[in-house]
Structure 1
Amino acid sequence: MQVALAFLFMSSQPLSTRQRLIQAALELFSAHGVSTTTTRQIAEKAEVNEVTLFRHFGNKHGLLLAVLEESAAFKDLGESLVRRATPPGNVYQALKDYASDSLHALERVPEFVRSVVGEADQFPAENRRALGRGVTEANRYVAQYLATVIRQGDLNTYLPAEKLASLLNGMILGYAVIEFTSEFHELWEDRDDFLENLVELFLHGAMSPPTEFTTGSLLGGVITTEVADLPAGIVHAILQQAKKLGVLDYALAYVLFGAGLSVSEIVSLQRSQQIYDEQGHFLQITTPGSVRQVPVNQWILGKRYGSYTNNPLIKWLKSRKDTHSAMFLNEIGAPISELEIQVRWLGWTEGLLTPQGEPPAIAQANQTWCVEMLMRGISLENLSILTACDRSQLQPYAKRAREKAALEQAIRLDQKPG
């Protein structure tokens, strides 16, 4: 799969002034980074004056937005991958080629990547949205390819195609950032070592559930044998950081910890699927073959977050001025994706570490909710009804709840006089 980083201008027709400016900006951004490049340099390279640049784009960030929106490199990569699915080819080689070509594309513009990573927080919101749309577009094509080969029976997986695509692209981008910014790391022997391990992980890990995990519990599509719920302090810190980022972030974090839903369940929610009054707040979860209701708890690990009729989720929905049926929309008014929620989670958990010294994982929100419900007295049978899991699948959560109860009792005994 040979895909060059040719964003535009493959035609032999003369370039318009606008195209020349975008091409000049891309070349300079790629060579020197966004912040270092000046509008005068761009104008000189395009052989126009700065006034013409300002007339077309307003400022440098307007020009950057055009570069981001009109590039087609990753769309081309994704389309090339999709074409490999019909007829089905070598999945191992297709995934390795896609990852390799993606890294080569990024490698051709290292200064641009460094600028985007290091300076994205300084970009206007519309530029950040354009970046998000570009990542989402690439993800859509990869998910389409994976869904095709899964449907054809070439892969066995317990994760949905969109989630697998998110993981694959996230790892590729993460590696690119590390390679371009940390020259002397010793995480992998070389790039080929990374690529081989990446594809092996997908084909024999994420895409083939190991037989020894079959007795684990299954919640939100994720098989779990070890439960790692989060301490109350970390949960409250995550909710506070989400609150600072806006009403949407706060509502998403609230549903993760207050209702224990998986990311895939959250993105499928419709506005019509909530019920609330003075007695309670519920969400109706519809999955193939089942419909169930889940409470949205106003109390989370001993701290109250509003009431049944006035909490972060209800405030988010009341802030909406649109008529879209989806419960959660992103900044451009489209239904939020799993990838977007996972990216937001990174913002909420920035700087936080679990007792194991690891950054909190989004799956731990679900685990924390299940353990908390058991600690507050719900029976295993009733938790089974709320989660649509059988009792055997919930055993790891029951074991963790018993461990926490034993620790709490031991602490109380130590606080009593002898």
Structure 2
Amino acid sequence: MSSQPYSARQRLIQAALELFTAQGVSGTTTRQIADQAEVNEVTLFRHFGNKHGLLLAVLEESAAFKNLGESLVRRANPPGSVYQALKDYASQSLHALEQVPEFVRSVVGEADQYPTENRRALGRGLTEANRYVAEYLATVIEQGHLNTYLPAEKLASLLNGMLLGYAVIEFTSEFHELWENRDDFLENLVRLFLHGAMSSAPESAIDYLPASVINQEVADLPAALVHEIFRQARRLGVQDYALGYVLFGAGLSPAEIVSLERSHQIYDVHGHFLQITTPGYVRQVPLNQWIVGKRYGSYTNNPLIKWLKSRKDTQRAMFLDKAGKPISELEIQMCWETWTEGLLTTQGQPPAIAQAQHTWCVEMLMRGISLENLSILTGCDRVQLQPYARRSQEKAALEQATRLDHKPA
């Protein structure tokens, strides 16, 4: 006997949730709720007082926020891609909101008509959902080794606010031109987070560099050593020469080079560029014709263009191994070791392939590029680029001191 009132109460909450979801709060009557729950209205009033009392119970007891949050936390196992993890969450959140458009309209449009306790319950529910999302983002940030400018709680608030804002606009207006479609919104939202509120070191050129180098010291190579490496590469063939040209002329890592395709180059008399494609982010980098004081061809006739024009195969990859298949990072490393055999840096060590990137970054700063623009070209944030800025300042100071020494007293 004691279980019957409880059962009726739960049936009323479930019926209210279903009807509020389908019709909105204002469009649902207590009679409809009672009928669907198979009780009379008197039972509804006895348990909840009125419709807003029932709404309060729905917000507090339906466990919708809790279930969504717990599902997110379970999904925060090591993601294969931070970009995909964020996009999956945003997409699934929008999908959940799109299943209850009338409820969203009611919650947004009628909230000022709710009693204080209802608004407080809604606030608590949103706070609880935000806590779970913050936990999810904190896990993604840690596993993705991301740099963030805001704590996970603030990022969760911003992300949820944007998603809810999108839903409100889509559910309440038509014919706007704010975004092309749902995918366009999601793509730009994730890019904003990855390259605005967060920065993803693993998906940038800096990924290939040892952490000790990023944090402490930049080891660029002297001009004479760079030109000797080029000479050795050229001696080994047209592809080796082109590969060295991309390493020193565009500052790319082996991981980025192996993803290049023949169609990823753009050139004319005004410039030569390579398009770098990573999940959720596409950027272009210049392929410089001047490398540490020496010119290697022109924008329309240089080692890379000569290599690509010499090919008779149909492979899409920009560089190939000896079997004619797309080159691997290991094979690029082996090429580098062949070019640098017997050569030593000023520290008495064999040159490391990562030092080609160091050299390019420092040279770009020495030639006047701003740290902000270098950040755009590399996909790295300003904090990651600070060691390069310090090294370029050191070299500039040395050059100035040398020039002063040449002037008569």
TM-score with structure 1 length normalisation? 0.48
Which has the larger Rg? 2
